[in-house]
Amino acid sequence: MESIGRMGQEVLKQVQDSEDLSVICGVDKVCSGDYDFPVYDDIHDVKEQPDVIIDFSVPEASIEALKFASAGHIPTVIATTGFSDEQLNLIKEYSEKVPIFRSASMSYEVNIMSDIIAKLAALLTDADIEIIETHHHNKVDSPSGTALLLADSINNALDNTMYYEYNRHVKKEKRNPKEIGIHSIRGGTVVGSHTVSFFGDNESFEITHTVNSRSVFAKGALKAARFIVNQKNGMYSMKDLF
């Protein structure tokens, strides 16, 4: 079962190309197009019993999906970003009732990048660290979940001594060495790009990951679905999939 938005369409394409998966129903409040499976505007109206749920939606819809999943004990892949702390706590509570795979990015390479920059941060302890993320003009949440994933990876490597700076235009002071600057750019149809820069004295180092097609995230979500369907209750991530 899946949601039929832009990412839902990508997931559907990947499922149709697979030999071991099929879509039995979808959920979308505003659905257009003809499908060979039912599409509901409310997940609680779903009559089918899926083996796994793949959720690319918005935080509020994700929580409703988990309510439905926990009632039927359906393993769930959460690929939505922009959750509040309260919503993240709810997801953790639901993971006690159902297996949940959640990642801020379904890209395998982004998660490799996360490991790489953590190692760099531990080596470049005196560097000023900045993250720039660029996405299409329809993206709602800012900064992106991936940007926060990368920042958290760096911060964990530095014993959580850093803080995140999102807005410098109101500040009249020099850069704090303990801040990680996070900047969001929105425009056009850019699927997603993230650059992490380490600035030292008289030299700098940066690493960039760019996504050119949403199929990257769809393929990652299907890998997660194949994994989570056989797991016990709990919270899982890309690190578990590795």
Domain boundaries, the chain: 2-102+215-241, 108-211
Across the chain, what does the average pLDDT equal?
92
Catalytic amino acids? 135, 139
Phi, psi (degrees; rounded to nearest 5) at 94? -65, -25
- List pLDDT tens digits, range 10-39: 899 999 999 999 999 999 887 656 788 999
Fold matches, 2-102+215-241 and 108-211: no
Cβ neighbours of residue 148 closer than 8 Å, sequence gap 6 or more: 104, 164, 182
Does residue 35 contact residue 28 with C-beta atoms inside 8 Å?
A: no
What local confidence, expressed as pLDDT, does residue 72 receive?
94
Task: Identify the residue with better confidence: 134 or 239.
Answer: 134
- List pLDDT tens digits, range 79-130: 998 899 999 999 999 999 999 999 988 998 999 999 999 999 999 999 999 9
Domain 108-211: which CATH number of 3.40.50.2030, 3.20.20.80, 3.30.360.10, 1.25.40.10: 3.30.360.10
Does residue 56 contact residue 3 with C-beta atoms inside 8 Å?
A: yes
For residue 45, give the DSSP letter: G
**DSSP-based three-state secondary structure for 159:** coil
- What CATH number does the domain located at 2-102+215-241 have? 3.40.50.720
Cβ neighbours of residue 139 closer than 8 Å, sequence gap 6 or more: 186
- Angle, alpha carbons 108-10-73 (nearest 5°): 75
Q: The tokens of 71 are what?
A: 């009632």
**Helices 108-123/215-228 angle, 10° precision:** 90
